[in-house]
A and B are shown apart, each in its own frame.
Chain A
């Protein structure tokens, strides 16, 4: 309640370069370690929550089996038959993008850090303008199934597919592990246990489900799951937002004032710097994160492959517009929900339930329904928890599919295939894709089990930074620069990928800070948590230098083909 903004407690935590334990470069869907977890509620809530979780699993499995019955060509597996409407794909894009990190993480950050949490949502939204204007239509027109398809059109195929395919697998795997570690924490948290075993089973269960979705249903089933999930998520968000607004009689200024009071920081809650303002380094870190967020989205393989599920570039554009509308509306509601949680539940209670604030929305639902003892509160809590669970399931399915497509279509069938061997048949490629989904799912399960102590935020932040450093420069150069060469493309991918990974290894995330992965040792020399500020320019620079120094000149015929195809849609798949 003090309105003295001088030294808020959370600002003290930022003194050692690390803004906060659990919410580094990306809002964490769940905190770093199981030890921090405390059951939100007990008893009846969880029975109902389990029941609704089971409903979510059954519905998604039913969709998968029903959709998976027919149409199992490559076009169906990778691109869902390309027959989705813009509205459907808009929902699916939102579904892929709004992970638990958004629904629980961003709202939690807003609940705890006020304005600094709002900044996340803005980065996530503005990123879509890059997708809309520079990427969506051109990628739809010139590619077939993956990002590397676009690049391979004008470059030597094998080195390029090897580079872009590997980068895609790395990005999606990092993202996947982050989501699954988060899923483990979240599911156990929402079910009211904090035992390590329950968490392990939750991760294995989620992993098994996602493998089934992808291998049985392919892109078609994954897309329908995204659509259903996005719809339910938005309905849930609207419901809670309306309830919050009714509580405050539609007076947003009153909501902001109550939230500032409930936060315990007073006016500082509504000002920048509560989380990222302590030192110049932490402010620079936030800039780096913001850069990674705004440029990373356009390089995320599971987002790019969504554009192949619609018939034309125009449909890709319209689906992106739908997605921007829904995602923008969602983040506006997330601000209201975050403020509402602080105003009604109070920052102390939110933080007590979960130090990263990830349960702010379920707690808000419980409160809005009438509190822990009331039936409405219990129902609302269980409902919101089930929506969060559906969110996780859908996102991991989308990620697995993107990773398996990059592996089978780019690496196995093209980059790694010896020139002497006959081309892989479609059937063979699909078998490999399904096998890859199983293997990638299994790898993700195992890594997630080992990574349970690892900061999930760091993994997703890294995924965004790698996507922005490795995938985006190559893609943009390829689409817009006529003199770009194969060497430039390959250098650009590795020149972004390697620094991004290295800088994270030598950042305070891994060593040298209290909350690091290896807190005991200190080999960090890079002061920032997020590598984007350095690695993204390096990716662009490497592509430029690689092109200038390359022996072969760019093939103007190939560029003509790419340009004509990408802008007109001639010969589009």
Chain B
């Protein structure tokens, strides 16, 4: 696991390890059943003592693992929180940018209207584009940090363990 050591920025690494072992055991007893992927948070951080007790099946079907993970509730949560934020946000900023861009072509008179001092609607719109970019960056990062990161990382180790 040399790879794991490079991700020491995240403390949640061992989470979900036991869940994976259990899943592997379940697969052994009932090979046709999809491995149950337990959300990372649900697993208690137990020492690795259980590990040698659960030998991996010799050949892992990667496609099956990925399909199982994809179908799992934990993954669907991640996917939902990602798409649920990113798609509307993209619509908003692209729409707002194209509206602003289109206004130069379609409504130059409106853009020329003075607001305060030398500032007119066009400049205000431009400065608001800067502001909205910064705000959306921050919102996206906050969403990712609070809603996705931990679960995605747990699922990552889960999936990788199953693939080994």
1/0 contact trace for B59-70 toward A, CB 8 Å? Answer: 000110011011
Query: Which A residues from 240 to 291 make CB contacts under 8 A with B?
Result: 253, 256-257, 260, 270-273, 276-277, 280, 283-284, 286-287, 290-291
Please, which residue of chain A has its CB at the minimum distance from the CB of B117? A253
Inter-chain CA distance A272–B111, complex, in Å, is 7
1/0 contact trace for A290-318 toward B, CB 8 Å? Answer: 11001000000000000000011011011
In the assembled complex, A437 has its CB within 8 A of some CB on chain B: no
Most interface-central of A122, A134, A557 (chain B CB within 10 A):
A122
Query: Which A residues from 544 to 573 make CB contacts under 8 A with B?
Result: 556-557, 560-561, 563-565, 567-572
In the assembled complex, A48 has its CB within 8 A of some CB on chain B: no
1/0 contact trace for A311-353 toward B, CB 8 Å? Answer: 1101101100100110010011000000000000000000000
Most interface-central of A271, A331, A556, A564 (chain B CB within 10 A):
A564
Instruction: With A253-B119, A317-B144 as known contacts, state yes or no: A272 contacts B137, CB within 8 Å.
Output: no
Q: Pick from A283, A291, A294: contact of B104, CB below 8 A.
A: A283
Q: A125 and B129: CB pair below 8 A? A: yes
In the assembled complex, A119 has its CB within 8 A of some CB on chain B: yes
Inter-chain CA distance A276–B101, complex, in Å, is 12
A residues near B117, Cβ cutoff 8 Å: 253, 256-257
Query: Which B residues from 122 to 164 make CB contacts under 8 A with A?
Result: 122-123, 126, 129-130, 133-134, 136-137, 140-141, 144, 148-149, 152-153, 155-156, 159-160, 163
Tally of A-B Cβ pairs under 8 angstroms: 160
Instruction: With A134-B90, A287-B101 as known contacts, state yes or no: A277 contacts B152, CB within 8 Å.
Output: no
Q: B63 and A557: CB pair below 8 A? A: yes
In the assembled complex, A128 has its CB within 8 A of some CB on chain B: yes
Q: Pick from B67, B93, B118, B153: contact of A556, CB below 8 A.
A: B67
A residues near B108, Cβ cutoff 8 Å: 271-273, 277, 283
Nearest CB of B to A287, in Å: 5
Q: A560 and B130: CB pair below 8 A? A: no
Q: A122 and B89: CB pair below 8 A? A: no
1/0 contact trace for B72-104 toward A, CB 8 Å? Answer: 000100110010001001100110011011101
B residues near A287, Cβ cutoff 8 Å: 101-102, 104-105
Inter-chain CA distance A552–B62, complex, in Å, is 22
Instruction: With A119-B126, A260-B118 as known contacts, state yes or no: A563 contacts B134, CB within 8 Å.
Output: no
Inter-chain CA distance A132–B140, complex, in Å, is 9
Nearest CB of A to B113, in Å: 10
In the assembled complex, A13 has its CB within 8 A of some CB on chain B: no
In the assembled complex, B120 has its CB within 8 A of some CB on chain A: yes
Inter-chain CA distance A149–B7, complex, in Å, is 23
A residues near B159, Cβ cutoff 8 Å: 564, 568, 570-571
Q: B104 and A270: CB pair below 8 A? A: no
Q: A283 and B105: CB pair below 8 A? A: yes
Size class of the contact patch on chain A:
35 or more
Most interface-central of B9, B90, B101, B140 (chain A CB within 10 A):
B101
B residues near A286, Cβ cutoff 8 Å: 101, 104-105
Please, which residue of chain A has its CB at the minimum distance from the CB of B71? A560
Q: A570 and B105: CB pair below 8 A? A: no
A residues near B136, Cβ cutoff 8 Å: 129
Q: A569 and B118: CB pair below 8 A? A: no
Nearest CB of A to B8, in Å: 10
Please, which residue of chain A has its CB at the minimum distance from the CB of B61? A557
Q: Pick from B89, B104, B156: contact of A569, CB below 8 A.
A: B156
Q: A125 and B130: CB pair below 8 A? A: yes
Inter-chain CA distance A271–B119, complex, in Å, is 9
In the assembled complex, A115 has its CB within 8 A of some CB on chain B: yes
Q: A571 and B160: CB pair below 8 A? A: yes
B residues near A55, Cβ cutoff 8 Å: none
In the assembled complex, A57 has its CB within 8 A of some CB on chain B: no
In the assembled complex, A212 has its CB within 8 A of some CB on chain B: no
Most interface-central of A119, A277, A280, A318 (chain B CB within 10 A):
A119
Q: B149 and A314: CB pair below 8 A? A: yes
Instruction: With A115-B122, A561-B66 as known contacts, state yes or no: A126 contacts B82, CB within 8 Å.
Output: no
In the assembled complex, A133 has its CB within 8 A of some CB on chain B: yes
Inter-chain CA distance A332–B131, complex, in Å, is 11
Closest 3 CB pairs of A and B: A283-B105, A570-B159, A557-B63
Q: List 9 A-B contacts (CB under 8 A).
A: A115-B126, A128-B137, A134-B86, A290-B101, A291-B98, A321-B137, A331-B130, A557-B63, A569-B152
Which residues of B pack against A, CB within 8 Å?
6-7, 9-10, 62-63, 66-67, 69-70, 75, 78-79, 82, 86, 89-90, 93-94, 97-98, 100-102, 104-105, 108, 111-112, 117-120, 122-123, 126, 129-130, 133-134, 136-137, 140-141, 144, 148-149, 152-153, 155-156, 159-160, 163
15 more contacts with CB within 8 A, not counting A315-B9, A564-B66, are A118-B123, A119-B101, A133-B140, A256-B118, A257-B118, A270-B120, A272-B108, A272-B112, A286-B101, A291-B98, A317-B144, A332-B130, A560-B70, A561-B63, A568-B152
